[in-house]
Each structure stands twice: as C-alpha cells, then as structure tokens.
Amino acid sequence: MKKGSLLVALLALLFASCSSDSVDYRDQFTGNYNATNSIYSQDSLHTYNKDSLLVLNKYTLTITKSSNVSKEILLSNFVGDSITVKALVVGSDFTIVPDTVNKNVYSGTGTLSKSTLTINIWVKSIQDDGYTNYIDAAVKN
C-alpha cells in the first residue's frame, strides 16, 4: 500500500471515530414531562417502608439543554417547586449537580428508559440537617 493511501485510510478512521463522539445525549431528555413526586412511607419507628410509595404531588417538569456546558441539562419546576437544578448527562443517565435552593441542598440521579424518566432525589435541609429521599417518575409528553 502506498504511503498516500495509508494516510487517507488513517484519516478516514480518525474522522469516523470523532463523528461518533458528536452525539448530544441531552437531546433525548429535552421536553415536557408529566411527573409524580413520591416518597417512601414511614412506619411508627420512622423507618422507610420500601413497599409503599406515597404520592405527594403531580407536576410538569421541563428539561432543556444548557447553553453554557456541553453535557448539562436544566430541570425546571423541579419536584413541582418552581426551582431549576442542573444535571450532567452520560448516555441515558444524569447526575444532579448539588445545589442549594431555599435552604435545601438538592442532589440525585436520573435514568431515561424510552419515554419514562425515573429520578432519585435527595434533599438535605440546611436548618435541621435531615435528608429526605424522593422518587419521581415522569413520562414525556
């Protein structure tokens, strides 16, 4: 094989491998979702009953792409509280960037499977140092 042909073949491989990295995984998350905010119920000993979710509220969650960070999405009306949190996307998963809003620190993870988004949310109260774990399920409109 000539040097020129080898160089062309190597450049083609380089461009082909680079093009697969140009997928913007945030696109699959963007849109409006009908969401349900739930919490595990507590028994009389204040331990969580993993078999029983209590629905707290239903709300519309809006997800948009950040214009500042290439792997970041913005979750608006998060947990139905009219707040916005940021999350970093990797494939079909995201991690909420811990953020303090209204004397609470929000963090968590999310996974998208087809059009259903499941979000595990941890809210730490700055006032009493307690944690609450919410499970939100959201279906894309």
Kindly report, residue by residue over 69-88, the tens digit of the pLDDT: 999 999 999 998 899 999 99
Q: Which of these, 120, 102, 103, lies nearest to 111 by C-alpha position?
A: 120
What's the farthest any 2 CA atoms get from each other in the chain?
79
CB neighbourhood size of 15 (10 A) = 9
Please report, as a single letter, which amino acid is at residue 69. V
- Domains along the sequence of the chain with CATH: 24-140 (2.40.128.420)
Kindly report, residue by residue over 122-135, the tens digit of the pLDDT: 999 888 878 888 89
Q: Residue 141: which pLDDT band, with cuts at 50, 70 and 90?
A: very high
